[in-house]
Amino acid sequence: MNKPIIELTRVEKVYRSGRVGFPALSGVDLSIAAGELVAITGPSGSGKTTIINLIAGIDRPTAGTVTVNGSRLDQMTEERLAAWRGRTIGLVFQFFQLMPTLTAAENVTLPMDLARLGHQRERAATASRHLATVGLADRGDRLPLELSGGEQQRVAIARAMACEPPVLLGDEPTGNLDSGMARDMFKLLKSLNGKGTTVVYVTHDASLAALASRIVSVRDGMIVADTGRQR
Counting every residue written for the chain, the total comes to 231
CA–CA distance, 216 with 118 (Å, rounded to integer): 38
Q: What is 35-49+77-226's CATH topology?
A: Rossmann fold (3.40.50)
Q: Three-class SS of residue 201?
A: strand
What's the confidence (pLDDT) of residue 183? 83
Taking phi first (over 0 means left), then psi (-120 to 50 degrees means alpha), and beta for anything else, what does residue 219 get?
Answer: beta
pLDDT in tens, the chain (231 residues): 578 999 999 999 999 888 888 999 999 999 999 999 999 999 999 999 999 999 999 999 999 999 999 999 999 999 899 889 988 999 998 778 899 999 999 999 998 988 888 888 999 999 999 999 888 999 999 999 999 988 998 999 999 999 899 999 999 888 777 888 888 888 888 999 999 999 999 998 888 899 899 999 999 999 999 997 544
Domains of the chain by residue range: 35-49+77-226
**pTM of the full predicted structure?**
0.89
Q: Three-class SS of residue 68?
A: strand
